[in-house]
Amino acid sequence: MIDTATLEAYFSGLQARLVAAAQALEGGGRFRNDPWRKEQGAPLGGHGLTSIIEGGRVFERGGVAFSHVTGPALPASATAKRPELAGRAFEALGVSLVLHPLNPYCPTAHMNVRALIASSAGGGDQSAPVGWFGGGMDLTPYYPYAEDIRHFHGACKRALAPFGDELHARYKDWCDEYFYLPHRQEPRGVGGIFYDDLYESGEGWDDPFARSFALTQAVGDAFAGAYLPLVEKRHGTPYGERERDFQAYRRGRYVEFNLVCDRGTLFGLQSGGRTEAILMSLPPVVKWRYDWHPEPGSPEAQIYAMLAPRDWV
């Protein structure tokens, strides 16, 4: 049985914990809370809470959003691998986070954990509800601190360890493949872990849904320890106009990915979600240049060399 009350309790609690942790690092209650509710009907009903920071001491822009939405029919982006579910009503619950620090020596990070539930089929087909999970986290540094990248990947590996020794390598590769800009032929960042359409059993687990939910909780719970210590360590590093300029240039890749490639953005827009919350992931200051390349041997060039997928742990 799929218990959406239990799912909501976890996801809403996770959002509250992540906002509290980021606010503690920020040094004050700078997050703006924007609760919302939509009555059931086309295209979406549901409720949620979007917590946003802009112009902070540590975070130039960031958002941590919880949502629980319902809709009359799964959008095309959710049924590409499950065409038999087309037309079913659905519920989607989850937490999505993107944090863009002000200091260019601090990396940007993204995390998302979610559950999607297709309702029972109508008419004479009384098929039971179907639920599955997705999620992950990834890191986008602007300057080359290998120890920070190793810390992040190590936390990802430890989060998945209780669910099988083989999972980290698989989900890391999936992340490297997903967060890739084919039109640029380059990765967005240094990866992390990513998984989707998760509903599978494992050793010691009789219930695939319970196991998949437990794994998703482990990923969500690991994020703060994987990322926030990096920001705490780097946000006081002196920087100048050169570093900010390069940060804005590399943020352009972040924008391109989210608007061109990201399935979550597509799902939200296709299903009639709240545009402001969907696009909270975009950084506040971005630059593009024509055919620009960093000076060979510079720190800016070194980060490009680090983007190639590798085993960081």
Asked whether the predicted pLDDT for residue 164 surpasses 60, the reply is yes
Catalytic one among 47, 68, 100, 110?
Answer: 110
> Model confidence at 67, in pLDDT bands (50, 70, 90)?
very high
235 belongs to the catalytic site: no
pTM: 0.92
With beta carbons less than 8 A apart as the criterion, state whether 152 and 139 touch.
Answer: yes
> Model confidence at 124, in pLDDT bands (50, 70, 90)?
very low
Q: Residue 313 domain-assigned?
A: no
16 Cβ contact list (under 8 Å, min separation 6): none
Question: Quick check: helix, strand or coil at residue 196?
Answer: strand
Q: How far apart are CA 104 and CA 234, in angstroms?
A: 9
Q: Residue 311 domain-assigned?
A: no
pLDDT in tens, 215-260: 999 999 999 999 999 999 999 999 999 999 999 999 999 999 999 9
pLDDT in tens, 270-296: 767 778 888 889 999 999 999 999 999
Asked whether the predicted pLDDT for residue 146 surpasses 60, the reply is yes
Domain span holding position 113 = 4-306
CATH number of domain containing 290? 3.40.1500.10
Q: Residue 13 domain-assigned?
A: yes
Strands of the sheet containing 45-54, edge to edge, are: 32-38, 45-54, 59-71, 90-101, 108-118, 130-140, 191-198
**Kind of pairing between the strands at 45-54 and 180-181:** unpaired
Asked whether the predicted pLDDT for residue 79 surpasses 80, the reply is no
Domain count, the chain: 1
Q: Residue 312 domain-assigned?
A: no
Asked whether the predicted pLDDT for residue 78 surpasses 50, the reply is yes
